[in-house]
Amino acid sequence: MNYRSTRGQVSGQSFESVVLEGLAADGGLFIPEQLPTLPADWQTAWAELSFPELATELIAQFVGTDLSHTEVSQLVQKSYATFDTPEVTPMVQLDARTHVLELFHGPTFAFKDVALQFLGNLFEFFLERRNAQSGGHRLTVVGATSGDTGSAAIYGLRGKKNVEVFILHPRGRVSAVQEAQMTTVLDENVHNVSIEGTFDDCQDIVKELFSRSEFRREHSLGAVNSINWARILAQISYYFCAFFALRRSHGADALPAFVVPSGNFGDILAGFYAQSLGLPVAKLVIATNANDILDRFLRTGTYEKDASVAATPSPAMDILVSSNFERFLWYLARDHEVPSSVVDPEERAARACEILAQWMDRLKTAGSFSVSPAALDAARQVFWSGRCGDAETYSTIAAHYSHEPSYLLDPHTAVGVHVAETLRPEIKALGAHVHSVCLSTAHPAKFSDAVLRAVNDAGHQLDFDSILPAPFVGLLEKPRRCFESENSADAVAQHIVDVAQSK
């Protein structure tokens, strides 16, 4: 199993290499050179597997010879032993044809724990193995967060051998709980950095640091954002898990339409890969808040940055540019932009890289690019989309809290549920056997201000202490450590140098 960059200048990379490098040297994102073929009997052979067992089978398809099946199993078991339920990602039914897939049962109560607990263990395993062969291997992980990635990355990497982790977050643009989850972790290898700006500013700084080849090499930079392929790989598992859970509860013909709150596109990209591997999926639905670049693309065929980020009740989705969309765009270019007269698979891949690089250059210089009508039609075959405003977010939280039985949504999940309800007629038209499965990305206690506003403004009462997870009790009063930085790659780079020199 080898990997290539979407930009075309890097190929033939091993799984271990792409995990440790994160971002390709040409600025592209790593994708498999070929998708594996699942066993012919996977639908029956895997039907009763536990989540860790299912994840092991799926991940093993992508690691080549870098990990044995036993090693994958041990890493997976270690990663999900930290979750508070043996199901790992349980599914809850809201009504006859709508379900919530709860992805928030990990250490930081966000969906990103599913990937980052695994990625942290992968980093440690590969570095220890390399150091056993020849010492001196370390990794400096640099990541950007709009809230949940940061805490999940920190909890996945805290105390890990041979790893330093620097997490950039936009000052004042994450929730109080999210900020506290990050900055109260005082392990010596954890370094929080607040930036005066937006998540996109943080993400741009990270990409700039990775583009500095000498700095990247000297400090052995590694990526923890969903630009790291291992993040996407780990998330494929819960799509398969939900498929089997739905069929166990609603019959052998039940089919999911996954509705996914989307910011950086990593979560729903995992669904695209699951479908590409052969998972039966009725539809993948992108749910956006007011920062709706993905919804606008599917309506117009033009991928265009807004002038600024809108602050919403769902801050983890407050993103101008969805970095992981580049991976899907590569497949769109290969299959629908490269002329059909080009039949050689490697030539088609090379041409796709050229087209993708041109699109990314236009996005950087002009702020937008457009795809062909054929490519847009193909994208619409895979994805539907919908948008949810702030008022709809609050009203959806309130409606489901007051519903019988009551269910409390976090604001990101509320975006997904609202879009699922808006598209209910279209989803129903897909067939009586199709069910909406809304991915729930965070525990509602992480967004207390939004949840309490939604419930109180609707005239209801909520005893917030009754839903507060034990690790959140007293969290806001704990000691903190965070470096306040200028909004520049140079300033962050100097901080990394200073920390390295102090060790």
326 phi and psi angles, rounded to 5 deg:
-60, -35
Q: How far apart are CA 291 and CA 279, in angstroms?
A: 29
Strands 163-170 and 255-261 turn out to be: unpaired
- Let me know how long the chain is: 503
How many CB atoms are located within 10 Å of the residue 250 CB?
17
3-state secondary structure 202-213: HHHHHHHHHHCH
Please compute, for residue 411, the number of CA atoms within 13 A of its CA located in the half-sphere on the CB side: 28
41 contacts: CB under 8 Å, gap ≥ 6: none
Burial of 482 (0-12, 13-18, 19+ CB in 10 A): middle
Rg (CA), the chain: 22
Could you give the strand order of the β-sheet that contains 139-144, starting from the edge strand earlier in sequence? Answer: 221-223, 139-144, 163-170, 190-195, 483-485
**Token pair for 230:** 């291992």
φ/ψ (deg, to 5) at 179:
-60, -45
- Asked about 112 being catalytic, the answer comes back as yes
Q: Which tokens in the block code for residue 64?
A: 């080549």
How many beta carbons lie within 10 A of that of residue 75, not counting itself?
A: 24
What is the C-alpha to C-alpha distance for residues 470 and 473, in angstroms, rounded to an integer? 5
Q: How many CA atoms lie within 13 A of 365 on its CB side?
A: 6
User: Using a CB cutoff of 8 Å and minimum separation of 24, what contacts does 101-104 make?
Assistant: 101/238, 101/242, 101/437, 101/438, 101/439, 101/440, 102/440, 103/238, 103/439, 103/440, 103/441, 104/410, 104/440, 104/441, 104/442, 104/443
Instruction: Spot the catalytic one: 112, 160, 207, 283.
Output: 112
Q: Which of 437, 414, 470, 502 is nearest to 191 (CA)?
A: 502
Q: CB within 8 A of 372, min separation 6: which ones?
A: 301, 336, 337
3-state secondary structure of 170: strand
Using CA atoms, how far residue 439 sits from 27, 239, 311, 405, in Å, is 30, 10, 22, 19
3-state secondary structure of 272: helix
Closest by CA position to 145, among listed 199, 92, 184: 199
Q: What positions carry a catalytic annotation?
A: 112
